[in-house]
Chains A and B, each alone.
Chain A
Amino acid sequence: MTHVWLVVGAVGVATIAIKATGPVLLGGRSLPPRLADVVELLAPAVLAALVVTQAVGGDGEIVVDERVPALAAAAVALVLRAPMLLVVVVAAVVAALLRAL
């Protein structure tokens, strides 16, 4: 459990500092434009990588299992503008049903 608390503590402290950047730490100054452009792209890049590793990641190899059709079903739900919770539930239900077959 020590590693879990290390993550919780470090991420908590870092996030508090990041959110305080503008109103407390920088006091009105702004980021250099190039750095701001890179920061803006961090979230889409990391999220896209998380989609891949969570969908086909395995024990040091690529594993294609029920998660892939579940992700496809989630994508359809997103195209149909379903709310986020429904998208997640659709994926879980599809995977659970395929495993129960």
Chain B
Amino acid sequence: MPRVASTGGRAIRLRDGIRAGAPLAPAPFAFGVSFGVLAQAAGMGIVAPIVMSATTFAGSAQFAAASILDENGTVLAAILAAVLLNARYAPMSIAAAPSFEGRPLRRLAASQLIVDESWAIAARGGGRFDLGVLLGIGLLFYPLWVGGTALGALAGDVVGDPERLGLDAAFPALFLALLVPQVRSRRALVAALLAAGTALVLLPLAPPGVPIIAASAASLIGLRR
């Protein structure tokens, strides 16, 4: 893998990413606003959702944690659900690893810009990734995501009763919208249906959050070859 020596080359490659991500830019901003509103309505306050967007930078896990806190689930359930959702970034980060350059600290910082969109758009097939595109999209999305969250959390403070506005109904719709692109194979569909059934059965029996953690065991069907 040849390294790009000149700074000029790197600037051009970053610009490729920013250009590729620009048409998608409204999405992370709007998504950030909705996270800010919903997290604030879930009782997370204003600062915590912003800090979470700045450190976690992964929408579905943040929404999962906020929704479990909202239903008075335990701290452990909220953490586990978010971490299980983000576990998918491990194989994604491993796949992109050969394209990363520089010292460990630089690679650590760059790896934080892996999000679903930057990873997917930077993939060039055959296990190759365009690092400039990945970093460019990540750098474009990051301030939009964090800024959107801040705006949403501040706006949510003045919005009023979340149930009257139907905000509680936004959560299941959001998770459904996030689920659809994840169901790319028959096995993923089976795992999703098994997990949904498990959650439904456990809902009246287990404390909040526990049905979600238990339902994650449906992923073990991946052990079957």
Contacts and interface: CB of A to CB of B under 8 A. Distances in A.
B150 interface: no
A22 B215 contact: no
Given A7-B65, A21-B93, A41 B166 contact: no
Contacts of A51: 172, 175-176, 179, 196
A23 B61 contact: no
Nearest to B42: A4
Interface in A30-89: 30-31, 34, 36-57, 60-62, 66-67, 70-71, 74-75, 78, 83-85, 87-89
Contacts of B56: 8, 11-12, 15
Interface string A10-36: 111111101111111011111100101
Given A41-B222, A60-B204, A49 B44 contact: no
B25 interface: no
Contact of A49 (B79, B86, B167, B196): B196
A42 B82 CA distance: 11
B219 A45 contact: yes
Interface string B91-119: 11111111010001001101110100000
B87 interface: yes
Interface in B51-66: 51-52, 55-58, 60-62, 64-65
Contacts of B91: 31, 36, 39-40
Name B's interface SS.
Answer: helix
B116 to A, nearest CB: 10
B16 to A, nearest CB: 20
Interface residues of B, number: 99
Interface in B28-64: 30-31, 34, 43-45, 48, 51-52, 55-58, 60-62, 64
Contacts of A37: 222-223
By DSSP majority rule, is chain A's interface helix, strand, loop, or mixed? helix
A4 B52 CA distance: 10
A46 B66 CA distance: 14
B174 A23 contact: no
A42 B198 CA distance: 14
Contacts of B158: none
A92 B188 contact: no
B212 interface: yes
Contact of A11 (B82, B211, B223): B82
A52 B45 contact: no
Contacts of A29: 94
A42 to B, nearest CB: 5
B223 A34 contact: yes
A51 B98 CA distance: 36
A81 B95 CA distance: 29
A88 B83 contact: no
17 contacts: A15-B56, A30-B94, A39-B87, A39-B90, A41-B191, A41-B218, A41-B222, A42-B88, A43-B85, A45-B215, A47-B175, A48-B199, A84-B31, A88-B174, A92-B166, A92-B169, A94-B169
